[in-house]
Amino acid sequence: MNWRHFGCALAALALAFCPRLAGADTTGAGMDAALGPAAGIAMYGLPALPAGFDHLPYANPGAPKGGTIRFGESGRFDSLNPWILAGRPAQGIANYVAESLMARSIDEPFTLYGLLAESVETAPDRSWVEFTLRPEARFSDGAPVTVDDVIWSYRTLGTLGHPRYQNVWRKVKEIAQTGPRSLRITFTEPDRELPLIMGMRPVLERAQWQGKDFANDTRTVPVGSGPYVIDRVETGRFLTLKRNPDWWGKDLPVNRGRYNFDILRWDYFGDPNTAFEAFKAGDIDVWREGSAAKWARDYDFPAVRRGEVVLDEIPHHRPSGISGLVMNTRLSVFADWRVREAMIDAYNFRFISNTLNAGAEPRITSYFANSDLAMRPGPAVGKVAALLAPYAAGLPPGTLSGYSLPETSDKMLDRPGLRHAAEMLEQAGWNVDDEGVLRNAKGQPFTFEILLKQGAADVQSNVDIYLQSLARLGIRPTVTRVDDAQYQMRVTNYDYGMTWMMIALSLSPGNEQMLYWGAKGVTDPGSRNLMGMNSPAAEAMVHAMLDARDPEDFTAAVRALDRILTAGRYVIPSWYPPETHVAHIRELHFPKRIPLYGDWPGFLPETWWYEAEQ
């Protein structure tokens, strides 16, 4: 199957690259022109699909309806409300029960098409956005979706919902009804991304939540307007969603060929290994494999040999994101960048990768690696240098001059890496005593806790090898393994020294970056700022991204942010898969046309279907 069919140069897919991907007038002319109400909106330029398109290009409008798809999750859930901080929400509800005003196309960096809204209009400077609802939009109980429902949802999520909603709500100056089916949101400041973000907020039924404590209610079965309704729930064990045969939006072009299964089911298991065994036994229908070594080693079980399970490799062109051991700089032991550099030096990537992953996947070299948004090697130049210059005095070493990860060794003992780590620790005031313990001038030992989730065997193996290198530096951390609920609680409250961090990043980073790296996350619980970084320069680069009026300025701002994050030495990077490994029963099928983001949410299970061989 020819996956790589894109007609544009894939090395430049981020935003400015080709009209098919950006849907854009790449000269910049007309990018901020007020065009009146439209069926779609893009971060830059115009949507790729014309008005009146038949279906999304990566969906199969002829896909049969029916069947069940079963997923396996590790851990437990105790909440049916995925829009608040309290509880551990069940899978599926956020994506398939509730809907938003606009729907994202994962074949473009950041473009939305009308869903609950039939049109969107924004000011030339994007200081406001106006949506007009479709008259036929309905909740699953038959009630119409109204402007009142939208405004109530946005206000409630913005004040009582998860921090990811509250952070953006602070930029809303006013939200008001402007017509029988229209509303306008005015922002406190121009921001190219805010109109798109507001188009992606879930819309809930106001009447259902009257008299309930939304911020703490985890038991109410939510009513949505989406393709599925909640069917069966056994808290902590499984949840099934049933396709709504009366779904109001099933014939919309943006939905044609999508949401084909009658039943979506998630079963929960104690750990990933147990879930994988359930897949091998036929109790789960699809499995994403995150380890290239396991993909090469563990997929010759009987169902594969009989042809009952199919192995597919699905490419993507999205950034690597960041995955690895993150250091919590809220703790004094990791406050010094020299200490963090020593921790990175002690991590012998090549040996660990060869041992655990057969050396099959490349190392993450920066947060936006594998994309045109990634920082360039060597000194910062041009617009990137100009953006960073005002903050030069407070930037981590290497941000402007250039920073790269250390060379590592094929051998278990990386002597040059450990030697450099010891030098950095000594510069930071840490020395090994006569008993082989690393201590500071006060005689305090260098110690911290590595927090891991039970059942994460790959991460545990990774840490086990790393501990051997740390021991040679006189460092012996405590390793604590906790169950899923305890892990989530402790990470939410930043109660760890190191832990494993995974953050996926897109080709259109925006306001969510403040939730990832913003200063509020140093103290406010529940952010993704696991390292506890407080960097005015990083926040300024996020603002520069949001203020950018053309792809060149946007890319420069992201590359500058990438430099700050990478040179900050907050994470000991692991590896990333340039393609997704998916094993599934042979009755499951997906379109030949793979979108820009590959196997991203929006592709599986949305565009897949069930079809038994005749």
Residues 3-12: pLDDT tens digits?
333 333 333 3
Instruction: Tell me the backbone φ, ψ of residue 55, rounded to 5 degrees.
Output: -165, 165
User: CA-based diameter of the chain, in Å?
Assistant: 79
Tell me how far apart the alpha carbons of residues 223 and 93 are, in angstroms, rounded to a whole number. Answer: 10
Tell me how far apart the alpha carbons of residues 1 and 6 are, in angstroms, rounded to a whole number. Answer: 13
Mean pLDDT of the chain, nearest integer: 92
Tokens matching residue 503: 């953050």
Provide the residue count of the chain: 614
pTM, entire model = 0.76
Q: Between β-strands 117-122 and 263-269, what pairing exists: parallel, antiparallel or unpaired? A: unpaired
Q: What is the DSSP-derived secondary structure letter of residue 407? A: P
Tell me, letter by letter, the H, E, C secondary structure of 513-556. Answer: HHHHHCHHHHCCCCCCCCCCCCCHHHHHHHHHHHHCCCHHHHHH
> If phi over 0 gives left and psi between -120 and 50 gives alpha, with beta otherwise, what is residue 602?
left
Task: Give the three-class secondary structure for 490.
Answer: helix
Summarised one tens digit per residue, pLDDT across range 463-495 is: 999 999 999 999 999 999 999 889 999 999 999
The predicted structure's pLDDT at residue 358:
85
Percent of the chain with pLDDT over 70: 94
The predicted structure's pLDDT at residue 614:
60
Contact status, residue 156 vs residue 166, Cβ threshold 8 Å: no
| DSSP letters for 348-371 | -HHHHHHHHHTT-S-B--STTTTS
Residue in the structure block whose two tokens are 């065994």: 277
Contact status, residue 235 vs residue 218, Cβ threshold 8 Å: no
Tell me how far apart the alpha carbons of residues 117 and 182 are, in angstroms, rounded to a whole number. Answer: 9
Summarised one tens digit per residue, pLDDT across range 210-238 is: 999 999 999 999 999 999 999 999 999 99
Tell me how far apart the alpha carbons of residues 380 and 524 are, in angstroms, rounded to a whole number. Answer: 33
pLDDT level of residue 259 (50, 70, 90 thresholds): very high
Summarised one tens digit per residue, pLDDT across range 56-87 is: 999 999 999 999 999 999 999 999 999 999 99
Report the alpha-carbon angle 251-113-57, nearest 5.
Answer: 70
**Long-range interactions of 503-506: CB distance < 8 A, separation 24+:** 503/321, 503/322, 503/323, 503/367, 503/528, 504/318, 504/321, 505/318, 505/319, 505/320, 505/321, 505/322, 505/367, 505/368, 506/109, 506/110, 506/318, 506/319, 506/597
The predicted structure's pLDDT at residue 16:
33
The predicted structure's pLDDT at residue 36:
82
Tell me how far apart the alpha carbons of residues 277 and 266 are, in angstroms, rounded to a whole number. Answer: 15
Contact status, residue 110 vs residue 507, Cβ threshold 8 Å: yes
Instruction: Find how far residue 420's CA is from the centre of its chain.
Output: 34
Which range (149-163, 520-534, 589-603) has the least confidence?
589-603
Task: Give the three-class secondary structure for 273.
Answer: helix
Tell me, letter by letter, the H, E, C secondary structure of 528-540. Answer: CCCCCCCCHHHHH
Cα distance between the two ends of the chain: 22
Of 176, 200, 180, the C-alpha closest to 128 is 176
Contact status, residue 477 vs residue 449, Cβ threshold 8 Å: yes
The predicted structure's pLDDT at residue 76:
92
User: Is the pLDDT confidence value at 265 over 70?
Assistant: yes
User: Is the pLDDT confidence value at 24 over 50?
Assistant: no
Q: CA quadruple 477, 480, 481, 486: dihedral positive or negative?
A: negative
Residue in the structure block whose two tokens are 């003992």: 413
Summarised one tens digit per residue, pLDDT across range 319-344 is: 999 999 999 999 999 999 999 999 99
Task: Give the three-class secondary structure for 571.
Answer: strand
Percent of the chain with pLDDT over 90: 83
- 161, 493, 566 from 488: Cα distances, Å: 18, 9, 25
